[in-house]
């Protein structure tokens, strides 16, 4: 196609480009269109642009594998979570089987134990997958559990309750502070 049609002042005219040396007769700013779209575009497509086709699915990239110390910490956190589930069930049974001084307060203790169990379970799953969000909540819960274990073991005179709690807390915190665990979270 070496010419184009123009309209002006109600008359159509054919304009042929001037031949310049080194060109093939086509103006430099016009591209050759080989085929036209079979249907006219919708108004919405003309105003806002047509919908793009869906992109190809992203390849699944496996995340880094958690080091053994983080996996062991996840197991200990899961054990703590299971202990809190058992505590919540025991408190619930004592609430309905016995006569608590305050039923709402007893139910609040059940809910609190259940929430701590849920946080520990989610934290254990996150540590197992080496999720970046999991370490902070797990360490915060370990600090509170350590304080509770210290009070139970030494101030309340119940070392059979407090010392196992302190041992679990010390194990989890040690495993999360090993160099390989810190490097695994640093490399994320």
Contact at 8 Å (CB) between 152 and 158? yes
**pLDDT of 15-56, one tens digit each?**
555 555 555 555 565 556 566 656 666 777 777 777 777 888
| Cβ burial 10-42 (10 Å sphere, 16+ → b, else e) | eeeeeeeeeeeeeeeeeeeeeeeeeeeeeeeee
**pLDDT of 68-122, one tens digit each?**
999 999 999 999 999 999 999 999 999 999 888 999 999 999 999 999 999 999 9
The secondary structure of 132-156 as a DSSP string is TTTHHHHHHHHHHHHHHHHIIIIIS
Q: What percent of the chain has pLDDT over 70?
A: 78
Q: Is the pLDDT of residue 124 over 70?
A: yes
Question: In this predicted structure, what is the pLDDT of residue 151?
Answer: 96
Sign for the pseudo-dihedral over CA of 137, 144, 104, 117: positive
Question: In this predicted structure, what is the pLDDT of residue 156?
Answer: 93
């Amino acid at each position: 196609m070496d010419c184009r049609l123009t309209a002006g002042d109600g008359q159509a005219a054919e304009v042929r480009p001037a031949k310049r040396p080194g060109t093939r007769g086509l103006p430099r700013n016009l591209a050759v269109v080989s085929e036209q779209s079979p249907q006219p575009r919708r108004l919405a497509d003309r105003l806002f642009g047509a919908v793009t086709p869906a992109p190809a699915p992203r390849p699944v990239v496996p995340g880094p594998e958690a080091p053994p110390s983080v996996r062991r910490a996840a197991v200990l956190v899961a054990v703590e979570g299971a202990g809190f589930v058992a505590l919540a069930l025991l408190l619930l049974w004592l609430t309905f089987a016995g006569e608590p001084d305050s039923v709402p307060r007893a139910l609040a203790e059940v809910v609190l134990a259940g929430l701590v169990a849920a946080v520990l379970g989610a934290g254990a799953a996150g540590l197992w997958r080496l999720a970046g969000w999991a370490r902070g909540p797990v360490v915060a819960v370990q600090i509170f559990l350590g304080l509770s274990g210290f009070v139970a073991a030494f101030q309340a005179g119940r070392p059979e309750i407090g010392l196992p709690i302190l041992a679990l807390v010390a194990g989890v915190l040690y495993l999360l502070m090993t160099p390989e665990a810190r490097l695994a979270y640093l490399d994320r």
